[in-house]
Structure 1
Amino acid sequence: MASIVEYVRYRMAARDREEFEAACRRAAASLAAAPQCVDYELTRRQDEEDEEEGDDAWYVLRIRWTSAADHLEGFREGEHFRAFLAEIGPYVAAIEEMRHYESTGIAGAGGSTPSIYEWAGGAAAFERLTEIFYGHVHEDPLLKPVFSGMAGDHPRYVAMWLAEVFGGPARYSAERGGHPHMAGKHVGRGITEEQRRRWVALLRDAADEAGLPDDPEFRAVFAYYVEWGTRMALVYSGENPPPLNAAPVPRWAWGLTPPWQPSGSA
């Protein structure tokens, strides 16, 4: 079931502005504790006409719920609603609009921030990375047996995968079969935890050799994906792999990762 976004628009008298924001700050503790709440944000309109002393203040409280039913039947009938309402309730009369909105799927980042793919240096950077990495793999006694039958163009395809994962062109999906193809390559491999850890260590070393950006922000996201991806490889290579469904290639961005799924779900 898809998540739903609730927008609550307030028109607040200027004299109540500070008290309202303080109440919302306290009420946020209830949202943070509610399992039905995905995230939330309070914004205040900022226009030139709002800067005049004594003007009303306009606010939008955005809350993303796991579903409309979870909001209306779960949260509102649950243990956290009473404390939330105690803080927000006095301002109900200031509400101009309160609606649920569903996502259209039309979303994305703007051009002010480069994608991880762009920040890394584009396709050439990932091709350089995988060439160096697999060069080390062939010399590593622990990983060499895993890749003994590797085709010569394997590094290029992995570079294509990484490029798409980090926000580059969707070539792996278009030319190689996307996520099901990549996941299928690991089925039956019986990868061990020791091999996974070595894979992670060699790839991080290869990132240094390839001259990938070394700023903490990039390396944190890169390391996060490598840890996630190699653990997924363990899952698919194990005795009971999940179905090779038509899930899209996971996309990673600054502060954005694939959504959490309960253990055992595909």
Structure 2
Amino acid sequence: MTTETVEYIRYRIPEDRSAEFLAAYTRAAGRLAEAPQCVDYELARCEEDFEHYVLRITWTSTQDHMEGFRDSELFPEFLAEIQPYVGHIEEMRHYKPTTVRGRGASVPSLYAWAGGAEAFSRLTTAFYDRVLKDELLAPLFADLAPDHAEHVALWLAEVFGGPPAYSVTQGGHGHMVAKHFAKNITEPQRRRWVNLIQDAADEAGLPTDAEFRSAFLAYIEWGTRLALYFSGPEAKPPAEQPVPRWGWGVMPPYRG
């Protein structure tokens, strides 16, 4: 479970000091960029009232911010840049993200771009037809359930931004991970899996534009490498977590 926290600092800066304020934060941001406790940051300016600014900093945890960054060699340099504006702070607090989050429809999801549920159904049908004929992978799927391809289609659809059907009907991330325990997948088998699903994507008519295929392959690489790990003898079940959601050029945060 993530411990990330979001710090919001709200400033009211007189307009005649805005240029120096932005210059100071441009310099101070260099220290944030160097801090291992900092995930990302953004300074925004109000469109309706130019005197109002909001700085958003995502920290690996509140403790990492308060005891890690603030006790580090970077903090004095950071503070020196922003010290003249501390008196202009109207709010400085840490917030925890809630489960109320999502994306709007201004950019289509990978799920929609691919063609929706039917596209992922075609994909897994074509893929498992190839798998069962492949001498390297067929042994892993000797006891393949009749509805396995359908369930994987639901999984991929949810991962790429579709409805949460896999979570609702199959049990979510933990259920998928558990299916790989003690399978002892090898790297050659993982690599063959990656190659065959790309061939199946071609056969199923999934989009071939570079943006979609790079995002598609990024997840396939990420997912199969997790499967390889969880199939091994030293794997430990992960903490309960939601199904990962993939987007255009993005991936779940690095956990280490």
TM-score, length of structure 2 as denominator length: 0.92
Please report the RMSD computed on the Cα atoms of aligned residues, expressed in angstroms: 1.8
The answer as to 2:138 corresponding to 1:144 is: yes
What letter matches 2:100 in structure 1?
I
CA distance in 2, matches of 1:245, 1:73: 26
Mapping for residues 71-220 of structure 1, pairs under 5 Å: 71-220=65-214
The residue aligned with 2:59 is: 65
Q: Which residue of 2 aligns with 1:31?
A: 32
Instruction: Work out whether residues 41 and 63 of structure 1, in 8 Å CA contact, stay in contact via their aligned partners in 2.
Output: yes
Distance 2:227 2:103 in 1: 28
How many residues in Structure 1 have an aligned counterpart in Structure 2?
255
Q: Determine the C-alpha separation between the residues in 1 that align with 2:119 and 2:176.
A: 21
1:6 aligned partner = 7
Q: Which runs of 5+ in 1 are unaligned?
A: 51-55
Alpha carbons 2:178, 2:237 under 8 Å: kept:
no
Structure 1: which amino acid aligns with 2:192?
Answer: R
Q: In the aligned structure 1, how far is the partner of 2:16 from the partner of 2:245?
A: 45
- SS in structure 2 at match of 1:218: helix
Alignment of 1:43-58 (within 5 A): 43-47=44-48, 50=49, 57-58=51-52
Matches of 2:29 and 2:85 in 1, distance apart? 15
In 2, the alpha carbon distance for the partners of 1:193 and 1:82 equals: 47
- Residues of 1 paired with 2:240 and 2:56: CA distance? 32
Query: C-alpha distance in 1, partners of 2:61/2:151?
Result: 38
Distance 1:33 1:245 in 2: 29
Structure 2 residue ranges without an equivalent (≥5): none
Alignment correspondent of 1:41:
42
Q: How far is the alpha carbon of 1:58 from its aligned partner?
A: 1.8
- Deviation per CA, 1:46-98: give whole Å up to 9, x if none: 12xx5xxxxx5321111112222222222111111011112212222332222
Question: How far 1:245 moved relative to its partner?
Answer: 5.0
Q: Secondary structure at the match of 1:98?
A: strand
Tell whether the 8 Å contact from 1:37 to 1:65 is kept in structure 2 after alignment: yes
Distance in 2, matches of 1:66 and 1:9, equals 20
Cα shift at 1:234: 0.7
1:107-138 Cα shifts (integer Å, max 9, x gaps): 11122222221121111010011111112212
Cα separation, partners in 2 of 1:93 and 1:246, compared to 1, 3 Å: closer
Q: Residue 184 of structure 1 contacts residue 244 of structure 1 at CA under 8 Å; is this kept in 2?
A: no
Of all paired residues, the percent bearing the same amino acid is: 58
CA offsets, 1:142-175, max 9 Å, x none?
1122222212322111101111111212221222
Identify which range, 140-149 or 231-240, moves more after superposition. 140-149
What CA distance in whole angstroms lies between the structure 2 residues aligned with 1:22 and 1:131? 56
4+ residue segments displaced more than 4 Å = none
Equivalent residues of 1:191, 1:234 under 8 A apart: yes
With over 3 angstroms needed to count, the CA separation of the structure-2 counterparts of 1:13 and 1:115, relative to structure 1, is same
- Aligned mate of 1:230, from 224, 231, 238: 224
Distance in structure 2 (CA, Å) of the matches to 1:65 and 1:244: 22
Amino acid at match of 1:189: K
- Structure 1 length-normalised TM: 0.88
